[in-house]
Structure 1
């Protein structure tokens, strides 16, 4: 009877827990979906506000620019400058009252009439100068969908004089929508108030144009009808035909009057959402059945044993009373001791069968001592690897075999009898008698689940903080980078014009050398930007911090005003075991903080790198082990910090900056990176006396892996070999044709991969080497190389790229490509690579024939 009641209570408890888990999962997911829609709302509010301000600024300056001597040229230049400062904007366009295009950046389609386009008609009908008119998603002549927003232009009499238009490209929206998806079954959709899809992530299998043309989602229509800012509903999604939980949110910034709102919808598949819950139902149900069977059998054998014990007690009553009294006292003392221990304790005999458990072990394992006694430890103490779910070797068996203390590895999970899982740490030791014989094993373990989960969550949040601040830092540096790039372009244009006009060969050569030096500066700046913005996590490796500091300071010098002097003192070339991207981020974040503190009055930004030996007991509060450390110091002569600010400076989202100038993630990210590298960071600062940060990173004795150096041959000229050259840029094709022809090659050039493939098919054995660009319309360079090598394996293929996320040097070589070159490719490098590829192909052909 009691057993039935206990099983009923256990079954009821399991059912109630499963129901509670179901409702909790549903509630949490609804909250997460609503939160993600608000993340999109906040980001789009910033984007639309910035675009609105930019259009207002151009509209305000337009009369003065048009009145200048060069007229529309000044207007076009202003559009170019504004577009360069707005990375998400594809084009800025000005129309007159009849819809004729007056000026545009990029400078195309001037003089054409666009009065039939919706974005012009909205402005023409509305004629409200304060309103931002948002058109339906539009397929531009570039072959991609853009979001067009426009504002009205009025003449001096207040009459309609035209419109100014900003065309927002898809990359920003795709990235924003993709960033709020935290599960593979999620979908995010940005819709126009008129009911058309603007962008979706992930993109559907069909073209966006087909999705945009589909009937509006009923949930979208219901959301508009309700008039609420946010709504939640579960129904069939319009594009996937699976049950989904969907959140809609209306985006209409208060600071930007819009003629129609934007709406964002984020959803999850309901089946995927409750996968783990359904698994828990099966697992806990199975365990309950096992519990019922085991309990029934255990009760049966226990009653049988009690009957046998009663018969023995009748015959040996006196002797057993004395033995039991002695045993009772011993058991009581042992039980008191074990019950007082906070860790779980299980003892076994020499055969590995359970003899004792304290209450903590009973709670964690789900077995009582009476249930577990005489069972093998592996039946009671089931442990698996948290990641692979493979069974961990029985520690008691290991102790009995080895005769020594044994500990289990990290990431070990205890599977309790009721289905609960605990992350544990434990050790097992042999129990010996006076003669040294092993009588059994004692196993001591503790529940470290909360500590383990906290550590996992900390690593996840630190990763998000690092990436978020990296993107913030890129935005901060964008203006300075654009300034430096414009200076480089001015040098290139200037010396090019001088070279064209110059008749003296020596002077002309000087002008061309200066032009080439400016182009090299531009290439180096692009490589620095790409290296900093790289998102992927990298493996830690022996790293020379001094070289990263120098590269970072070059990038900073292009980004901060000359009123701030940069001083550096690099006194160490030591190595640390670190991620280069994260170290770069430490330097950039600390220097960016120093710049902010001095941006008004100017000052000195000093960066110092030295080595320091830390002895036992020093910095013990920071957990630093004794040894040699690299000390990075970043100091400024800015406004400094008071004690209250110093206390909170490493807290996420704490900032002293104004709204829109920073997220407060910078120092939190730096602190997380330093701690993950087993280092420490300190700060000294007082109001009016500047600030100095000190970062300590442990030095490593490992040596940096040497870079393989590929030498180019001294002889680079051709011997009449036939080259198939492929690039979609006509100027590059012309330049390379002239270069190769001058150096003894016969060149056939093509504008894209498809055209090159068709020409190659006409006579596959005609060409000795193929040189192709990577990013091209119709067929990219990697696809062309695969087709050529599949048809004819031996011709060398050289792949050139400006920047591609689809391929890198390692992937290219694995495909059988002979060389992988990053643009811009110097002439000597191109000629040398072609010569090496041809020479190596010749050796391979000779070896194959012999």
Structure 2
């Protein structure tokens, strides 16, 4: 029987096993990659939908707040117009609109238009008198006679070459006929800040679209999509959302506006409680290529590694087969011709010697006492000798570092007992410099098992050790910088939070902070049934101070009044600048009697104060309390506002706690 027939079944089994192993590995790798693909895709769908939901919640609340403000203006308009005529003050309504525009988040200006289409009042007085009867907004609202409906008009190009959108409420006369409308022009900068706050990837695009298909705003708008009418793009992904009839859509596909494959989350936006004729739609999109880029990179790396493993395994098995075949042929030759076998053995020993001399790593052989019997040039170079012959007879322990030397005897005894050893040690070169090495050793014994010599291979790893130390140092420095940056960001966020809730001039809480506190106090009152009081304070004749002494003097009056009010209140009370020359005071757990006493105390504190830089300063104060029967935290504020106007009408410098005379 030939050698080939003897080895064939074993070789075939090895190759079969290798193929099955590689197939199993490929299957596991493919399954893992498929799982990662699905996970990445599902995760990104959740992220874009969450971002769209965040924008929807914020804009829905903002639209509702604006709708409530337009209702308030519409309700107050007859009284304000009568007051404007009675006091012959044509700016009264304009100032009221200015105050409300400042208090509304995301509103650029407020307008009142009469039935003829002429702008009769505005938070921007320079616009009063303009004829808007030919505008699209006038045409839409004048045809709609539903006072409960909020009209959301399509975006139009402003004089500043930016697209702006507006919402309005129709005005009807006592016969139910069109009598004009009140309008809020929305601020594009608010959209920019809101959309940018949820943008987490460079390829992410966010847009606001009017229900009719016109793009209101897009961030970033590198392709100039803002103002585009999607009705000219019937195959746009937006129309798939419209045709679905749902308020929420997740759509994947090709978009003609940017010629890319996208994952897009759509959300329809309406006021939280008021009906509207049209809705807005927010779209949050990411490019499919960017979403799957990390997965494709992982696919390339794993495929490359699998290919390398396959090549190494096949090459190793092939080499193993060839060596086994060579060994079998050598055995056959030895059996056939002993003399020829001895010649081949001598030739093999010479080849080994050549390999030993030219080995690319350090090699040494020690006797039973640990002294050198043999070494190659690499070993001599490692320890700083000119030739291997200089090492012969020297004790290997003399070149161990002081730290490792105490372990030599026990390590060498264990080596002789176990027949092999592997590890890392630090040696000392001839000139005293340390060198780190990785070594592996085996023991050669005779036929009776007696010790003959050791064979050890050593590899210089000093550069690798130095690199590891350098990497550790870099990691430590990076962690330190990350911690410092994290602390700086936390401080910046804290400062930003303070700035957004405090008035820059007086240092008092601003209207946003006041609204938050009013909400929390209202919820506490609902649970505890303890009333609280709201005071609205207005500096009398403050416009005269600005007109006669200038705005710097007016600012000093505001600061002085704020200081007097602050020191006259308890720590638990809230003092906020409500807008312009108006202040709001929240008195927790306070009934009407106590609130009136506090209001009178505040009025007298300002009236009796030394000169604040503008002569005598007085306050008009409206007082209201909030009880369990009220439905909203805004009820007490509106009542205090009405009573403040009553105090103004009654002659100023007084506290009004009931209906105006």
If the TM-score is normalised by the length of the shorter chain, which range does it land in? 0.5 to 0.7
1:110 is matched with which residue? 128
Aligned with residue 83 of structure 1, among 77, 95, 101: 101
1:202 is matched with which residue? 220
The answer to whether structure 1 residue 409 and structure 2 residue 472 are counterparts is yes
**CA apart distance, 1:105:** 1.4
Corresponding residue SS for 2:77: helix
Instruction: Verify the 8 A CA contact 2:214 2:230 in the aligned structure 1.
Output: yes
Instruction: Verify the 8 A CA contact 1:189 1:201 in the aligned structure 2.
Output: yes
Instruction: Verify the 8 A CA contact 2:268 2:280 in the aligned structure 1.
Output: yes
Q: For residues 285 and 456 of structure 1, do their structure 2 counterparts lie closer, same or farther at Cα, with a shift above 3 Å needed?
A: farther
Aligned with residue 265 of structure 2, among 220, 223, 247: 247
Query: How far apart, CA to CA, are the structure 2 residues paired with 1:193 and 1:518?
Result: 49
- Kindly provide the CA deviation profile for residues 655-684 of structure 1, in whole angstroms up to 9, marking residues without a partner as x: xxx999xxxxxxxxxxxxxxxxxxxxxxxx
2:81 is matched with which residue? 66
Query: How far apart, CA to CA, are the structure 1 residues paired with 2:560 and 2:304?
Result: 61
**CA apart distance, 1:183:** 1.0
Query: How far apart, CA to CA, are the structure 1 residues paired with 2:180 and 2:96?
Result: 18
Query: How far apart, CA to CA, are the structure 2 residues paired with 1:457 and 1:42?
Result: 34
**CA apart distance, 1:201:** 0.5
**CA apart distance, 1:79:** 0.6
Instruction: Verify the 8 A CA contact 2:110 2:182 in the aligned structure 1.
Output: yes
Q: For residues 205 and 35 of structure 1, do their structure 2 counterparts lie closer, same or farther at Cα, with a shift above 3 Å needed?
A: same
Corresponding residue SS for 2:502: helix
Q: For residues 517 and 117 of structure 1, do their structure 2 counterparts lie closer, same or farther at Cα, with a shift above 3 Å needed?
A: closer
Q: For residues 269 and 133 of structure 1, do their structure 2 counterparts lie closer, same or farther at Cα, with a shift above 3 Å needed?
A: same
Query: How far apart, CA to CA, are the structure 1 residues paired with 2:117 and 2:48?
Result: 42
Aligned with residue 293 of structure 1, among 311, 316, 323: 311
Aligned with residue 169 of structure 1, among 165, 180, 187: 187
The answer to whether structure 1 residue 24 and structure 2 residue 48 are counterparts is no
1:549 is matched with which residue? none
Instruction: Verify the 8 A CA contact 1:76 1:104 in the aligned structure 2.
Output: yes
Larger radius of gyration: 2
Aligned with residue 207 of structure 2, among 182, 189, 210: 189
Q: Name the structure, 1 or 2, with higher relative contact order (CA <8 Å, separation 6+).
A: 2
2:291 is matched with which residue? 273
The answer to whether structure 1 residue 180 and structure 2 residue 198 are counterparts is yes
Instruction: Verify the 8 A CA contact 2:74 2:171 in the aligned structure 1.
Output: yes
**CA apart distance, 1:51:** 0.6
**CA apart distance, 1:217:** 5.7
**CA apart distance, 1:297:** 4.7
Query: How far apart, CA to CA, are the structure 2 residues paired with 1:24 and 1:559?
Result: 61
Corresponding residue SS for 1:409: helix
Alignment of 1:338-349 (within 5 A): 347=424
**CA apart distance, 1:128:** 1.4
The answer to whether structure 1 residue 48 and structure 2 residue 54 are counterparts is no
Query: How far apart, CA to CA, are the structure 1 residues paired with 2:267 and 2:510?
Result: 40
Alignment of 1:258-657 (within 5 A): 258-298=276-316, 347=424, 352-353=437-438, 395-396=464-465, 408-409=471-472, 473-477=498-502, 494=544, 498=548, 515=550, 518=553, 563-564=568-569
Query: How far apart, CA to CA, are the structure 2 residues paired with 1:24 and 1:284?
Result: 17
Query: How far apart, CA to CA, are the structure 2 residues paired with 1:375 and 1:298?
Result: 24
Query: How far apart, CA to CA, are the structure 2 residues paired with 1:274 and 1:465?
Result: 32
Instruction: Verify the 8 A CA contact 1:84 1:482 in the aligned structure 2.
Output: no
Query: How far apart, CA to CA, are the structure 1 residues paired with 2:544 and 2:292?
Result: 65
Alignment of 1:99-138 (within 5 A): 99-138=117-156
**CA apart distance, 1:56:** 1.1
Stretches of structure 2 lacking an aligned partner (at least 5 in a row): 1-13, 332-344, 346-367, 369-410, 428-435, 442-455, 512-536, 573-583, 599-631, 635-661
Query: How far apart, CA to CA, are the structure 2 residues paired with 1:217 and 1:459?
Result: 46
Stretches of structure 1 lacking an aligned partner (at least 5 in a row): 313-318, 336-345, 357-372, 379-392, 400-405, 413-424, 426-451, 499-510, 526-553, 568-594, 604-657, 661-850
Instruction: Verify the 8 A CA contact 1:139 1:146 in the aligned structure 2.
Output: yes
Corresponding residue SS for 2:122: strand
Query: How far apart, CA to CA, are the structure 1 residues paired with 2:30 and 2:633?
Result: 49
Query: How far apart, CA to CA, are the structure 2 residues paired with 1:329 and 1:408?
Result: 38
Q: For residues 182 and 494 of structure 1, do their structure 2 counterparts lie closer, same or farther at Cα, with a shift above 3 Å needed?
A: same
Q: How many matched pairs?
A: 436
Query: How far apart, CA to CA, are the structure 2 residues paired with 1:127 and 1:470?
Result: 48
Q: For residues 495 and 325 of structure 1, do their structure 2 counterparts lie closer, same or farther at Cα, with a shift above 3 Å needed?
A: closer
**CA apart distance, 1:123:** 2.2
Instruction: Verify the 8 A CA contact 1:349 1:355 in the aligned structure 2.
Output: no
Query: How far apart, CA to CA, are the structure 1 residues paired with 2:440 and 2:244?
Result: 66
Q: For residues 326 and 74 of structure 1, do their structure 2 counterparts lie closer, same or farther at Cα, with a shift above 3 Å needed?
A: closer
The answer to whether structure 1 residue 95 and structure 2 residue 113 are counterparts is yes
Query: How far apart, CA to CA, are the structure 2 residues paired with 1:73 and 1:556?
Result: 25
Corresponding residue SS for 2:200: coil
1:237 is matched with which residue? 255
Query: How far apart, CA to CA, are the structure 1 residues paired with 2:424 and 2:100?
Result: 76
Aligned with residue 53 of structure 2, among 13, 33, 38: 38
Query: How far apart, CA to CA, are the structure 2 residues paired with 1:239 and 1:375?
Result: 65
Instruction: Verify the 8 A CA contact 2:545 2:554 in the aligned structure 1.
Output: no
**CA apart distance, 1:86:** 2.3
Q: For residues 215 and 488 of structure 1, do their structure 2 counterparts lie closer, same or farther at Cα, with a shift above 3 Å needed?
A: farther
**CA apart distance, 1:192:** 0.3
**CA apart distance, 1:216:** 5.5
Query: How far apart, CA to CA, are the structure 1 residues paired with 2:146 and 2:458?
Result: 83
Query: How far apart, CA to CA, are the structure 1 residues paired with 2:418 and 2:126?
Result: 96
Instruction: Verify the 8 A CA contact 2:215 2:228 in the aligned structure 1.
Output: no
Q: For residues 464 and 275 of structure 1, do their structure 2 counterparts lie closer, same or farther at Cα, with a shift above 3 Å needed?
A: farther
- Kindly provide the CA deviation profile for residues 542-594 of structure 1, in whole angstroms up to 9, marking residues without a partner as x: xxxxxxxxxxxx99978995654689xxxxxxxxxxxxxxxxxxxxxxxxxxx
